[in-house]
């Protein structure tokens, strides 16, 4: 079955860059869906970061767009997140997920399979 | 920015019907999704495209969306349905995927 697994440092210093990778197994990342990143600060709700297609086409959250880059490596069947100039407000559980919205009705935002999430703390 | 508003909490007795609302400007013109999240777990999609259930989601979960309100309905609520529920939609005017603030469903 389709599985997603986030990986990356659990601790990032303020002003530095947060980098995470999502490895996809049981399904080709080049099979027609977008792939997204969502985060959840401790005790709070969900926030979309962005979604990417196999071709590299992206949608980004307007509030994070200036600091975010999402990329895809189809040969490794994985996609990645980079968030620059982090602060304590970026401390969260970061999830990757398959986004079936564009394929089904032409717009992103329908996350049917999620990774287990990885906790990232921003602290010196 | 576009906002989706959910009640912070809803309570229901076992076996009864729970309704969780999600309000947003002209939400009925957009497609809504719903996610269930239990403590310490990743979210699970329970409804997409307003009314559709992903494979494996029990039939007691249903959705509707009209006007400014989307509703998640759980019929014959079970103790295992106790969780946080989030609605979500795409707003084309801001090009943003928006989540509601979440509703804690208590089954008691």
Contact A46 B102 (CB under 8 A): yes
Q: What is the pLDDT of residue A33?
A: 94
Strand partners, B36: B44, B85
pLDDT for residue A21 is more than 90: yes
Q: Which positions in chain A touch B52 (Cβ < 8 Å)? A: none
Q: Which positions in chain B touch A105 (Cβ < 8 Å)? A: 31, 49
Contact predicate A72/A60, CB 8 Å: no
pLDDT for residue A105 is more than 90: no
Average pLDDT, chain A: 96
Q: What is the pLDDT of residue B65?
A: 98
Q: How many CA atoms lie within 13 A of B86 on its CB side?
A: 25
Q: What is the pLDDT of residue A104?
A: 87
Distance from CA of B100 to the nearest CA of A (A): 8
Distance from CA of A124 to the nearest CA of B (A): 26
Average pLDDT, chain B: 97
pLDDT higher for B75 or A105?
A: B75
Closest Cα in chain A to B92: A107
Digit-coded pLDDT (tens) for B5-16? 999 999 999 999
Number of A–B residue contacts, CB under 8 Å:
68
Digit-coded pLDDT (tens) for A58-71? 999 999 999 999 99
Contact B99 A104 (CB under 8 A): no
> Range with the lowest mean pLDDT among A13-17, A105-109, B1-5, B86-90?
A105-109
pLDDT for residue A48 is more than 90: yes
Max Cα distance, chain A (Å): 43
Contact predicate A11/A123, CB 8 Å: yes
Contact A95 B43 (CB under 8 A): yes
* Backbone angles phi and psi of A103, in degrees to 5: -65, -30
- Sheet of A78-83, strand order: A3-7, A18-25, A78-83, A68-73
In A9-102, which ranges are E strands?
11-12, 18-25, 34-40, 47-52, 58-60, 68-73, 78-83, 92-99
Determine the 3-state secondary structure of B21 from DSSP: strand
Residues lower than pLDDT 50 in chain B: none
Digit-coded pLDDT (tens) for B59-75? 999 999 999 999 999 99
- Block residue for tokens 């196999």: A54
């Amino acid at each position: 079955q389709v599985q997603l697994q986030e990986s990356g440092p659990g601790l990032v210093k303020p002003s530095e860059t947060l980098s995470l990778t999502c490895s996809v197994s049981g399904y080709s990342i080049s099979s027609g869906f977008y792939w997204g990143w969502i985060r959840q600060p401790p005790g709070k709700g969900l926030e979309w970061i962005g979604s990417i297609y196999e071709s590299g086409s992206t949608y980004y959250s307007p509030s994070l767009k200036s600091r975010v880059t999402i990329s895809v490596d189809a040969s490794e069947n994985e996609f990645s997140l980079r968030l620059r100039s982090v602060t304590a407000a970026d401390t969260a559980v970061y999830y990757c997920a398959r986004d079936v919205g564009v394929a089904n009705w032409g717009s992103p935002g329908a996350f049917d399979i999620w990774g287990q999430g990885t906790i990232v703390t921003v602290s010196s | 920015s576009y906002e989706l508003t959910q009640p912070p909490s809803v309570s229901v007795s076992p076996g009864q019907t729970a309704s969780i609302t999600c309000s947003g400007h002209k939400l009925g013109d957009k497609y809504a999704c719903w996610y269930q999240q239990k403590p310490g777990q990743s979210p699970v999609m329970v409804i997409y495209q307003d009314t559709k259930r992903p494979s494996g989601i029990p039939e007691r979960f249903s959705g509707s969306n009209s006007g400014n309100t989307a509703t998640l309905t759980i019929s014959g609520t079970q103790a295992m349905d106790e969780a946080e529920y989030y609605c979500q939609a795409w707003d084309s005017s801001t090009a943003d995927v928006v989540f509601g603030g979440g509703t804690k469903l208590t089954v008691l």
